[in-house]
């Protein structure tokens, strides 16, 4: 059994993907082919923003947004403690100080209460200039943007939506990657919408930021790439990846997002009596980058994981370490507030196999083995 079966997806989309790849190879526009522009147009339309700028990966997407806002030394950037490293790495890389904020136990997303505490603390200390909130749509569910927006307005902060796992999610009718002043996503193969290598995109409604993003991503270009008006980077989406994404986006919209929600719903119905299942807030819709359950404690989590492994069922621990405890952040280069929820989640969480092409029988095996694990426990 595969944790996320990308080969199966390829087998199903093979004809179209092979054709599109062949088309790129024959055309020879390996950089900035028409597929890149077409993809950006379709992504912006789907997400509901004025601009989509594709780039090299989801980490660059975050960095480019921070470059546009001139985030650097002396600035404080608020980041959830429970996320993938890139969310905290990028502000630190720009020279800003990441302030790690706790998350909510039920949704795993940034806690507005903890966020406001952290902002007040930084303001009271008076050493740093609070500038950006990086809100992550963890495991596919959008963060609590209605609350985050109130806080951002109150303290005059910018919102950067890290939608690397969130593409396809919604709050009401509004789609993920449109909630931030700038929003980003990743097309790493295992993300909800993935390509066959690295890729990413940035979304915004602001004309000026869009122009700056397009400049920064191509060596700070002015009139063209040999007219360099600022120091930038080289971060573009390959034409080949855009071609693959055009096919995959169609499948994502037509049935994959729906299918993965059905798989998640089946887990929820079958497992809710046995483990703590992930909560999706009312009026929210997840793209289910991960389906993560919570066990009583670390020992129980590890023992279920080994049990499932023996039965040939792959599981993953996202994440086993709070961001604030990563070796890279051990120095004075970050600030931590109280982070009890994240510390607990790291011990209790376990992600189950999940993807749009998961067969019912395959999923029944996972569910049966989990139930079996708990009935064995009871007998002991
Ligand atoms: C994957 C991921 C990223 C980085 O994306 P890459 O394309 O791998 O650089 C950033 N933030 C989060 C939350 C992610 O899950």
Strands 182-186 and 158-162, sheet pairing: parallel
CB of 65 within 6 A of ligand 1: the answer is no
Residue nearest to atom 7 of ligand 1 (CA): 58
pLDDT digits (tens, 9 = 90+) for 35-92: 999 999 999 999 999 999 999 999 999 999 999 999 999 999 999 999 999 999 999 9
> Is 90 exceeded by the pLDDT of residue 376?
no
- Going by pLDDT thresholds of 50, 70 and 90, the confidence category of residue 211 is very high
**HSE on the CB side for 360, CA within 13 Å?**
2
What is residue 94's predicted lDDT score, i.e. its pLDDT? 97
Please give the average per-residue pLDDT across 359-375, as a whole number: 97
239 Cα to the center of ligand 1, angstroms: 20
Centre of ligand 1 to C-alpha 164, Å, is 5
Distances (CA, A) of 81 to 130, 158, 201: 17, 19, 23
SS3 303: helix
Q: In what order do the strands lie in the sheet with 51-55?
A: 51-55, 200-204, 182-186, 158-162, 129-136, 75-80, 97-101, 335-336
**Model confidence pLDDT, tens digit, residues 296-326:** 999 999 999 999 999 999 999 999 999 999 9
CA of 279 to the centre of ligand 1 (A): 22
200 Cβ closer than 6 Å to some ligand 1 atom: yes
Per residue in 28-37, pLDDT tens? 999 999 999 9
Residue 337's pLDDT is: 79
Mean pLDDT of 276-300: 97
86 lines ligand 1 (CB under 6 A): yes
Average pLDDT for residues 329-345, to the nearest whole number? 84
Contacts of 282 (CB under 8 A, 6+ apart): none
Question: For 231-255, what is each residue's pLDDT tens digit?
Answer: 999 999 999 999 999 999 999 999 9
pLDDT band at 377 (very low <50, low <70, confident <90, very high): confident
Asked whether residue 117 carries a pLDDT value surpassing 90, the answer given is: yes
Per-residue pLDDT band for 225 (boundaries 50, 70, 90) equals confident
- pLDDT for residue 380 is more than 60: no
Q: Which of 63, 164, 290 to mutate to test the pocket of ligand 1 (most atoms within 8 A of CB)?
A: 164
- Mean pLDDT, range 127-137, rounded to an integer: 97
Q: Concatenate the DSSP letters of all residues of 80-120 into one string.
A: ESSS-THHHHHHHHTT-EEEEE-B-TTT-SBPHHHHHHHHH
Does residue 371 surpass a pLDDT of 80?
yes
Q: Which pLDDT belongs to residue 275?
A: 96
Angle value at C-alpha 138, between 134 and 143, nearest 5 degrees: 60
pLDDT at 197: 98
Ligand 1 in reach of 188 Cβ (< 6 A): yes
Query: Ligand 1 within 6 A of 184 CB?
Result: no
Measured by CA distance, the residue closest to atom 2 of ligand 1 is: 164
In ligand 1, the atom with minimum distance to the C-alpha of 188 is 7
Q: Which residue among 162, 185, 196, 290 is best mutated to probe the pocket of ligand 1, counting the most ligand atoms within 8 A of its Cβ?
A: 162
pLDDT at 188: 98
Question: For residue range 163-205, what is the model confidence (pLDDT) as tens digits?
Answer: 999 999 999 999 999 999 999 999 999 999 999 999 999 999 9
58 CB near ligand 1 (under 6 Å): yes
98 CA to centre of ligand 1 in angstroms: 17
Instruction: Kindly state if the Cβ of 198 falls inside 6 Å of ligand 1.
Output: yes
- Indicate whether residue 192 lines ligand 1 (CB < 6 A): no
57 Cα: distance to centroid of ligand 1 (angstroms): 8
User: Which is the closest atom of ligand 1 to the Cα of 137?
Assistant: 13
Q: How far is the CA of 377 from the centre of ligand 1 (A)?
A: 37
Instruction: Give 26's pLDDT tier (boundaries 50, 70, 90).
Output: very high
Q: What's the mean pLDDT when you consider all of the chain?
A: 96
User: Ligand 1: does its nearest atom lie under 6 Å from the Cβ of 82?
Assistant: no
186 Cβ inside 6 Å of ligand 1? yes
Q: How far apart are the first and last CA of the chain?
A: 29
Among candidate residues 290, 292, 358, 352, the one with its CA nearest the CA of residue 9: 358
Q: Is the CB of 164 under 6 A from ligand 1?
A: yes
The rounded percent of the chain whose pLDDT value lies above 70 is 98
Where is 44: in which H helix or E strand? helix 34-47
Query: pTM here?
Result: 0.97
Q: Does the pLDDT of residue 336 top 90, yes or no?
A: no
Atom of ligand 1 nearest to the CA of 59: 9
How far does residue 249's CA lie from ligand 1's centre (Å)?
Answer: 18
Does residue 319 have a cis peptide bond before it, meaning omega lies within 30 degrees of 0?
yes
Atom of ligand 1 nearest to the CA of 83: 13
Share above pLDDT 90 across residues of the chain, in percent, rounded to a whole number: 95
Residue pair 345/323 in contact (Cβ under 8 Å)? The answer is: no
């Amino acid at each position: 059994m595969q944790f996320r079966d990308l080969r199966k997806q390829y087998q199903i989309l093979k004809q179209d993907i092979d054709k599109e790849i062949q088309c790129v190879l024959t055309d020879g526009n390996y950089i900035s082919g028409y597929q890149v522009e077409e993809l950006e147009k379709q992504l912006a339309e789907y997400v509901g923003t004025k601009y989509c700028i594709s780039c090299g990966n989801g980490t660059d997407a975050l960095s480019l947004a921070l470059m546009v806002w001139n985030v650097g030394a002396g600035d404080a950037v608020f980041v959830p403690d429970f996320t993938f490293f890139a969310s905290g790495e990028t502000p630190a890389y720009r020279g800003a100080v990441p302030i790690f904020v706790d998350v909510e136990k039920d949704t795993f997303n940034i806690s507005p209460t903890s966020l406001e505490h952290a902002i007040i603390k930084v303001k009271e200390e008076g050493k740093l200039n609070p500038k950006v909130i990086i809100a992550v749509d963890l495991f596919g569910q959008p963060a609590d943007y209605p609350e985050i927006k109130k806080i951002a307005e109150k303290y005059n902060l910018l919102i950067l939506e890290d939608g690397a796992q969130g593409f396809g999610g919604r709050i009401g009718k509004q789609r993920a990657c449109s909630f931030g002043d700038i929003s980003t996503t990743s097309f790493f193969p295992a993300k909800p919408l993935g390509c066959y290598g690295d890729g990413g995109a940035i979304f915004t409604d602001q004309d000026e930021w869009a122009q700056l993003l397009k400049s920064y991503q191509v060596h700070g270009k002015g009139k063209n790439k040999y007219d360099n008006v600022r120091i930038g980077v080289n971060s573009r989406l390959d034409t080949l990846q855009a071609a693959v994404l055009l096919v995959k986006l169609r499948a994502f919209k037509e049935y994959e997002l729906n299918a993965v929600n059905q798989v998640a719903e089946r887990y929820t119905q079958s497992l809710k009596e046995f483990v703590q299942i992930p909560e999706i807030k009312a009026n929210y819709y997840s793209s289910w980058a991960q389906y993560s359950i919570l066990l009583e404690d670390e020992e129980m989590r590890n023992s279920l994981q080994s049990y499932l492994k023996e039965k040939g069922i792959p599981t993953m621990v996202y994440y086993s370490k709070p961001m604030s405890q990563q070796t890279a952040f051990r120095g004075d280069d970050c600030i931590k507030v109280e982070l009890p929820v994240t510390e607990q989640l790291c011990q209790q969480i376990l992600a189950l196999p999940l993807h749009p092409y998961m067969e019912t029988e395959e999923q029944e095996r996972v569910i049966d083995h989990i139930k079996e694990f708990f009935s064995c426990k009871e007998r002991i």
